[in-house]
Chains A and B, each alone.
Chain A
Amino acid sequence: MSSIKHFLIVDDSRLTRMIIAKIVSEHYQQWQISHAHDAQSAVEMVKSQSFDFISLDHNMPDVTGLTILPDIQHHQPNAHIGVFTANIQRVMRQRVASHGVSFYPKPINEAMVLRFIGEAN
């Protein structure tokens, strides 16, 4: 995966954004990484920019990740999207699957992020 990609990290936790950004930038130095700290800014970003990968948190203060997921999918039909969440209940996994996106349980690690990227191939 040598071409330059654009990766959007949507998470209210600065820590999680830093962890994902560090892992992605270590493996793909040329990729562009953007951050959204809440659902509203994420929606604004997907309306105005193009992304190849989007990691989406669920439990955020303003609106949940799954609430904005249809909007994101509408504006970014070609993006590979994964929900990265601490809510690991079966019902949440089922909801995520029903949207046709991947589920990743926090805490986030390197293997998880690389698997998410690899799924797009």
Chain B
Amino acid sequence: MNQALLSDEHNDTLCELFNIGMGRAANSLSEMVHEEVILSVPQLNTVKASPTSLALSLGQSRYLHAIEQCFSGDLSGQAYLVFDDFSGVDLVRQLLGESAMCQDLGELEQETLTEVANIILNACFCCIAEVLECDIESDVPLLLKGTPNELFHLQFSNAGLAPYLLTVSMTFQLPSKSIKGQVSILMATESLQKLIKELERFSLIYT
């Protein structure tokens, strides 16, 4: 059930939903930093989730700031907004108007980064819920810090039965800084099948 789990049509629809969600999030972010946010074209990848695949999906980063937000309702799972290396720190400094003197985050900075993630991930949830006409509730976001292996060995135990990892690689960059983020979603097989069912129902409207 690996790559074939999502058809090209499912893939296309999900990418477009994330594109719209991230577009909304980028608009909010742009207003916060008073700068244009450059978005890449989203690319979706689905793999059977394991601590290794979770870590691999994050690329070569040595150290991460990831914000985890669990969601439930018609669809459920765990969403992560992941900043590679020190992108998260740079983004917070930009938002708070401070120079990057150190590479660790204080309490205010952690809250700021968590709120940014809340805006971005909820923009994606809202877009999926709105277009697919389903209910998605999100929990309070939680900031995680560490190496990819440290982070996701911890999180994997909560992922449910036979989980899959949807990795939406969509970078957002500020022209003045190289800030990159990525959204990853961990869903149990049962929940992913619900998502596929919703995507198919939606596609029928336009075929």
CB atoms of A86 and B22 under 8 A apart: yes
Interface size on B (CB < 8 Å)?
Answer: 26
**Quick check: which of A13-21, A48-56, A74-82 contacts chain B, the rest being far away?**
A13-21
Residue of A nearest to B29 (CB): A89
- Whether the pair B131, A107 counts as a contact (CB closer than 8 A) is yes
- Closest B residue to A23 using CB positions: B206
Known A18-B207, A59-B41, A60-B41; contact A91-B16, beta-carbon cutoff 8 A: no
Which of B13, B26, B36, B41 is A15 in contact with, Cβ under 8 Å? B13
Q: Determine whether B130 belongs to the interface, using a CB cutoff of 8 Å to chain A.
A: yes
Instruction: Output the nearest chain A residue to B8 by Cβ-Cβ distance.
Output: A14
Docked-complex contact A107 and B206, CB < 8 angstroms? no
Expressed in whole angstroms, the minimum distance between the Cβ of A103 and any Cβ of chain B is 12
* Residues 8-28 of A at the B interface (beta carbon under 8 Å): 12-16, 18-19, 22
Q: Is the CB of B20 within 8 A of A86?
A: yes
- Bound Cα distance from A13 to B19, whole angstroms: 10
Pick from A12, A86, A105 the residue with the most CB of B within 10 Å: A86
Which residues of A come within 8 Å of B, CB atoms? 12-16, 18-19, 22, 59-61, 85-92, 105-107
